């Protein structure tokens, strides 16, 4: 069963919202209920919602139960009654009610999935607390061991610059490489079929490069193909990418070498400054995307792991913020052919193999301007992001022993993982059967933990 959200257009093509067409109570809650019962049920639910919003929970609960006596399979009534039972501490009934509501609505409604995640989190709070503490302790021990093993490695770093129609910006990008404090660098620049005169500017600018360099000029083949071509040409131990409209802080490569290469890690990234077309800082209080990014990166030190931030979104922001060991890139077979999310996809696949290192300094300047690829089509970008995230979650729920022992997955996190994807809004990436299996496995793990503590 796969239903649209109640406020989405009805798939029948009527032009009405689903809840006003085939999603009406008399369609979804049961054709056997009389028209009078359905009408009365709707009246009771509207009154119950007002009582719930006014925090008169006794009256709201009574009205929802009356509505369900008339139409027992009304998903919204079951869901909202479940919310009230959750607030009152009856987690068993709350879980039963919300799961029933989800079954009736095809597990399609985000609010129901998120509320189930909250119920499960509270239901397994003792397990979650113990598991989270244990995970954090193991993670801190790993970080301490990594820090203790730091040795200067002086690797050759290949900086790969895919350039496309950024004649206004690309010289600053290249000069930020020339100015790096770290000097064991080679430069690979590929012009991906620019039509704005960029190749001539690149050739002229590269004459002043203090580093060995290669320039490839060819027809347009797309970002992922161009990045992979750069990887193939690179000879360095590590590859650092740089988009042709962005630029590095002078200490960028020096700091990433120290944090990633010298510690024996496979990959890492830094915090990011968001700037406008003129290179001026973007006010995060005026640009929602920049504000969300600021919040996401500020939360990284407080998460169970650095990698846990990646399952909800691309906190690295850009392929240009990635510093990756060349053997790891070879193991991943480079970037896959996604137009908008090839960077996030690479990060999630790298996360399966190796825990990333995060450098909290803002060492990458990401430029927002009118021709950013992410501005082309929000719908296409979201659809692609869903595919990337769903691919990771499908792996994460079935893998038995991840190479990265801290990768967010059920095998490593248990119920913490189930609760995180539901309460974090990612439940829609998995089908109903997969969610049911995760919930059952989480419940069994939490029950086993509870029984073990009581002995």
Q: Is the pTM of this model over 0.75?
A: yes
Please determine, for residue 32, whether its predicted confidence score (pLDDT) is greater than 70: no
Residue 118 pLDDT: 85
Quick: pLDDT tens for 35-81: 888 899 999 999 999 999 999 999 999 999 999 999 999 999 999 99
Q: Quote the number of domains for the chain.
A: 2
> For 113-132, how does the pLDDT look when each residue is reduced to its tens digit (9 = 90+)?
889 888 887 877 766 677 77
95 with 184, same domain: the answer is no
Please check whether residue 140 lies inside any domain of the structure: no
Final residue belonging to a domain, choices 377, 404, 438? 377
Where does the pLDDT of residue 10 fall: very low under 50, low under 70, confident under 90, or very high at 90 and above? low
Domain boundary residue among 377, 404, 420?
A: 377
pLDDT tens digits for 417-442?
Answer: 888 888 777 877 888 888 888 888 87
* Pairing state between β 238-241 and 247-248: unpaired
CA distance 164 to 153: 33
Alpha-carbon distances, residue 144 vs 130, 140, 141, 148, 300 (angstroms): 21, 6, 5, 6, 17
Q: What is the pLDDT of residues 387-414, one digit of tens each?
A: 999 999 999 999 999 999 999 999 998 8
Query: How are beta strands 238-241 and 213-218 bridged, if at all?
Result: unpaired
Q: Strand ranges (DSSP E) for 96-207?
A: 157-163, 185-192
* Residue 1, in any domain of the structure: no
Residue 394 CB partners (closer than 8 Å, separation 6+) = 430, 434
pLDDT digits (tens, 9 = 90+) for 94-113: 999 999 999 998 888 888 98
Query: pLDDT for 146-177, tens place per residue?
Result: 989 899 999 999 999 999 999 999 999 999 99
Q: Which domain holds residue 72?
A: 18-108
Quote the CA–CA distance of 37 and 42 in Å, as a whole number: 9
CA angle 125, 113, 65 (to 5 degrees): 90
Contact between 204 and 186 under an 8 Å Cβ cutoff? The reply is no
Closest Cα partner for 78 from 46, 54, 102, 62? Answer: 102
Q: Decide which of 179 and 25 is more confident.
A: 179
What is the per-residue pLDDT for 26? Answer: 45
Least confident of 25-34, 42-51, 174-183, 324-333: 25-34
HSE-CB at 355 with a 13 A cutoff on CA atoms is 20
The predicted pLDDT at position 424 comes to 76
Domain with residue 323: its CATH number is 3.90.550.10
The answer as to whether 184 is a domain residue is yes
């Amino acid at each position: 069963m796969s239903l649209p959200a109640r406020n989405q257009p009805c798939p029948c093509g009527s032009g009405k919202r689903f809840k006003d067409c085939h999603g009406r109570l008399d369609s979804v809650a049961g054709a056997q209920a009389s028209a009078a019962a359905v009408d009365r049920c709707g009246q009771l639910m509207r009154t119950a919602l007002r009582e719930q919003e006014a925090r008169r929970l006794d009256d709201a609960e009574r009205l929802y139960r009356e509505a369900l006596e008339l139409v027992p399979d009304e998903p919204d009534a079951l869901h909202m009654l479940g919310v009230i039972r959750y607030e009152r501490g009856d987690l068993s009934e709350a879980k039963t009610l919300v799961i029933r509501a989800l079954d009736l609505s095809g597990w399609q409604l985000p609010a129901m999935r998120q509320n189930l995640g909250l119920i499960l989190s509270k239901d397994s709070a003792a397990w979650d607390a113990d598991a989270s503490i244990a995970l954090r302790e193991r993670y801190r021990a790993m970080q301490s061991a990594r820090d203790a093993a730091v040795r200067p490695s002086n690797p050759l770093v290949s900086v790969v610059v895919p350039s496309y129609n950024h004649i206004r910006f690309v010289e600053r990008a290249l000069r930020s490489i020339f100015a790096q404090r770290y000097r064991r660098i080679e430069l690979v620049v590929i012009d991906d079929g620019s039509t704005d005169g960029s190749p001539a500017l690149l050739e002229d600018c590269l004459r002043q490069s203090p580093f060995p360099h290669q320039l490839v000029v060819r027809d347009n083949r797309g970002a992922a193909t161009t990045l992979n071509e750069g990887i193939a040409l690179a000879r360095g131990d590590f590859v650092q990418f740089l988009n042709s409209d962005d630029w590095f802080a002078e200490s960028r490569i020096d700091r990433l070498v120290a944090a990633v290469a010298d510690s024996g890690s496979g990959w890492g990234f830094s915090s990011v400054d968001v700037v406008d077309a003129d290179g001026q800082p973007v006010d995060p209080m005026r640009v929602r995307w920049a504000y969300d990014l600021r919040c996401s990166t500020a939360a990284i030190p407080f998460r169970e792991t650095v990698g846990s931030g990646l399952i909800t979104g691309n906190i690295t922001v850009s392929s240009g913020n990635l510093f990756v060991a060349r053997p790891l890139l070879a193991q991943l077979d480079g970037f896959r052919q996604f137009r908008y999310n090839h960077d996030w996809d690479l990060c999630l696949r790298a996360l399966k193999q190796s825990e990333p290192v995060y450098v909290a300094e803002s060492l990458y300047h990401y430029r927002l301007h009118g021709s950013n690829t992410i501005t082309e089509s929000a719908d296409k970008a979201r659809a692609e992001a869903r595919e990337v995230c769903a691919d990771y979650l499908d792996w994460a729920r079935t893998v038995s022993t991840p190479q990265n022992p801290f990768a967010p997955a059920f095998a490593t996190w248990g119920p913490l993982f189930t609760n995180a994807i539901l309460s974090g809004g990612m439940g829609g990436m998995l089908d109903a059967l997969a969610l049911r299996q995760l919930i059952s496995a989480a419940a069994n793990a939490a029950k086993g933990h509870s029984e073990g503590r009581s002995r």
